[in-house]
Amino acid sequence: MLQIVVCVKQVPDTAEVRIDPRTNTLVRAGVPAIINPFDAHAVEAAVRLKEKYGGRVTALSMGPPQAEEVLRRALGMGADQAILLTDRAFAGSDTLATSYILARAIETISRETPVDLVFCGKQAIDGDTAQVGPGIATRLGFTQLTYCMAIDAVDLEQGYIHVQRKLEGKREIIRGRLPALLTVVKDLNELRYPSLPALIRAARATITTWGKDNLDLDPAQIGLKGSPTSVRRIFAPPVRPGGEIIPGDPREAAALLVEKLVQTKVIADK
Task: Collapse the DSSP code of 210 into the 3-class scheme (helix H, G, I; strand E, B; otherwise coil) and give the result.
Answer: strand
Identify which of 165, 201, 252 has the alpha carbon closest to the alpha carbon of residue 80.
201
Would you state the pLDDT for residue 183?
97
Angstrom distance (rounded) from CA 161 to CA 151: 8
- Kind of pairing, strands 81-85 and 170-177? unpaired
Angstrom distance (rounded) from CA 113 to CA 160: 18
Identify which of 51, 56, 59 has the alpha carbon closest to the alpha carbon of residue 75.
59
Would you state the pLDDT for residue 95?
92
Angstrom distance (rounded) from CA 55 to CA 73: 19
User: What residues form DSSP beta bridges with 118?
Assistant: 5, 181
The domains of the chain, with CATH numbers, are 2-221 (3.40.50.620), 240-270 (no CATH)
pLDDT band at residue 265 using 50, 70 and 90 as cut-offs = confident
Mean pLDDT of all residues in 169-177: 95
Angstrom distance (rounded) from CA 146 to CA 119: 10
Residue-wise pLDDT tens digits, 201-256 = 999 999 999 999 999 899 999 999 999 988 777 777 778 878 888 998 999 999 99
Q: What is the pTM of this model?
A: 0.83
How is residue 15 annotated by DSSP? G
Identify which of 99, 117, 103 has the alpha carbon closest to the alpha carbon of residue 6.
117
Residue-wise pLDDT tens digits, 124-161 = 988 889 999 999 999 999 999 999 999 999 999 999 99
25 pLDDT higher than 70: no
Q: What is the mean pLDDT of the chain?
A: 91
pLDDT band at residue 266 using 50, 70 and 90 as cut-offs = confident
